[in-house]
Amino acid sequence: MAIAGASPSIPPRSPRGVFANEPFTDFKDAENLRSIRRSLDQVAAHLGVEYSLIVGGKRLKTTDKIRSINPARPAQVVGIHQKSGAAQAEAAMSAALRAYGSWSGTSAEERASLLLRAAEIIRRRKFEFMAWLIYEVGKNWAEADADVGETIDFLEFYAREALRLDAVAPPIQYPGERDELFYVPLGAGAVISPWNFPFAIMAGMTSAAVVAGNTVVLKPSSDAPTIAARFVEVLEEAGLPDGVVNFCPGSGSSFGNAIVEHPKTRFISFTGSKAVGLEIHERASRTQPGQIWIKRTILEMGGKDSILVSADADLDAAIEDVVASAFGFSGQKCSACSRAILEAPIYDAFIERLRERVATLTVGDPAANHDLGPVINREALSSILNYIEIGKKEGRLIAGGNAPATSDGGYFLEPTIFADVAPKAVLAQEEIFGPVLALIKVASFDEGLRVANNTEYGLTGSVYSASRERLDRARRVFHVGNLYFNRKCTGAMVGAHPFGGFNMSGTDSKTGGPDYLHLFTQSKSVAEKL
């Protein structure tokens, strides 16, 4: 159900026009301030609603339920969802296969228009969707706004990319022939989406598959199924036919594995942890009876991302962006800065100024727009606290380290910084996925680059330096999929920064880039002799 009065209607952009990123919301504007507060109140009145599975357009219930809770107030239920298991996997895949027959035959123009209609609906209800993100995963206002804006960007961008792929031609026409090249959809596949960007990543993965002509079984994270349910409602409102997207929250070990292993599953698009991604890749590689293709896996996994600060850097800018990259959304981003690598001449001064800046951050209920909200659940809180205990043995605690108690029992953690961490320490190597930053001192810029490359990941990185020679060296040597100079290592923008990493960070799928839709298609060459 839509919440009335969320934002004014805005006409959709033409798919033939030039793509432009959705602007960020200025919360200093009085009308925007009223809109977000009004939407928080309106959405609060709709918390705790029960949602059905959607399989082939039918609403279904299961005995087992998933309760999505507000991590800032764990007693507050955001949504009650059905829990799909192995029994529902066959029905969901059958529905997706039935819908594929007709959906794959629709024109690229029709599929692109559906995405643009969905983008218009979300843009019109932007503040409402921000409120759902604030309640379900604990994003503050700016983080929720960025998530919604990126969702709109993915829909708008992939609509245009589908039209571009539809218009491709072979590089040459061979003499005496009529030569054609088509990008055709793969089939029915699985989208397994994460909780940390539960709107943008979930919608981006789903819409890319759909606009390319595929059908989808969507399994959102059990920590964030409500925003996914709301997105599927948007797709239905935009005119998506039954069975093209089948909404199935459920257990990864039963429903997720059953879909991955199903012989008719053509592709699996996954964003999440390295461990789960590798398991999916392994399961998908096993050929099942009746399977006639090699399943395609599109995997976005973890990161252990570094910001390297040179002795000649603008320290004010570097400190501000290290704080933003490390502690935005409580560090719960695969792109988050979890290591600041500092040249020795600036090391002590950087620490003191960083400590002063972090002391100004507030921790609390994201509905009140604190700098840091909660981490996602009790298990995450426990895991991060364990890493903090390891950090106390491996480094020098200079800020944070505590889990503030609240009357509502929220899963809050202070922004935490350890200095004097060795490059191969646990704190410097393992993905923590929380508000914990390790500071590493290096004797030279070249040593800093070696340290930056010393993990099994290769997702994002940033370098702060005034030296063109040093930046050029980093451009060649720093081995990550997304490298930034003199800016933070989070906040990739659709179109400008195609996103995806190397090594154990995944298959370098480059979401929001010109290559992404290729992953959901296969090219067909047709030559006719004249």
The angle subtended at Cα 135 by Cα 134 and Cα 137, nearest 5°, is: 70
Q: Measured between alpha carbons, how far is 295 from 172 in angstroms, rounded to an integer?
A: 31
E strand or H helix at 117, and its extent?
helix 108-124
Distance set, CA 489 to CA 297, 303, 320, 321, 486 (Å): 26, 11, 12, 8, 9
Catalytic residue among 128, 300, 414, 431: 300
Active site residue 337: no
Cα–Cα distance list, 453 to 377, 410, 433 (Å): 31, 36, 19
Question: By CB neighbour count within 10 A (0-12 exposed, 13-18 middle, 19+ buried), where does 66 fall?
Answer: buried
| Whether residue 261 lies in the annotated active site | no
Do residues 245 and 216 lie in contact, with contact meaning Cβ atoms separated by under 8 Å?
yes
How do 502-503 and 457-458 pair as beta strands? antiparallel
Name the active-site residue from 143, 161, 334, 337: 334
Q: What is the 3-state secondary structure (H, E, C) of 144-160?
A: HHHHHHHHHHHHHHHHH
Task: Single out the residue of 263, 258, 206, 259 nearest to residue 236, CA to CA.
Answer: 206
What is the rounded CA–CA span in Å between residue 514 and residue 298? 15
Q: How far is it, in rounded angstroms, from Cα 291 to Cα 332?
A: 37
3-state SS track over 233-281? HHHHHHCCCCCCEEECCECHHHHHHHHHHCCCCCEEEEECCHHHHHHHH
The DSSP code for 466 is: S
Q: What is the set of active-site residues?
A: 300, 334
